[in-house]
Amino acid sequence: MVPRDYEKDGCLLEIKARAEQVEAVAKAAFETDCFLESITAVDFTNGPQIIYQFNSFTSISRVLVRVQLSRGESVVSIGSIYDAALWYERE
């Protein structure tokens, strides 16, 4: 976990997670009343990086979760935790 400067970066915390940790991180965000703001990906030469953004309606608490994957590696769906994830994950 890396604390960030919200005024500068627009988020309070950045977490680097492994593919097998995605579901646990999403559950923790859900249990602390965070909503899923977005999921996006960047295709680097060594493999895609999935970026999840979680936020809260009650406090300034945007959290970025970055998951670096190897070519051919995938992450589990978090659609069972956040219905909105299904929209992003269809790609």
Rg (the chain; Cα; Å):
13
Q: In this model, does residue 3 exceed pLDDT 90? A: no
- The alpha carbon of residue 62 and the mean position of all alpha carbons in its chain are separated, in whole angstroms, by 10
Angle at 44 between CA 40 and CA 46, to 5 degrees: 130
Q: CA 52 to CA 25: how far, in whole Å? A: 10
Residue extents of the structural domains in the chain: 8-50
pLDDT in tens, 30-86: 999 999 999 999 999 999 999 999 999 888 788 999 999 999 999 999 999 999 999
Pairing of strands 47-55, 2-3: unpaired
Q: Model-level pTM? A: 0.88
Give me the pLDDT at residue 58, please: 86
Tell me how long the chain is: 91
Which residues make beta-bridge pairs with 22? none
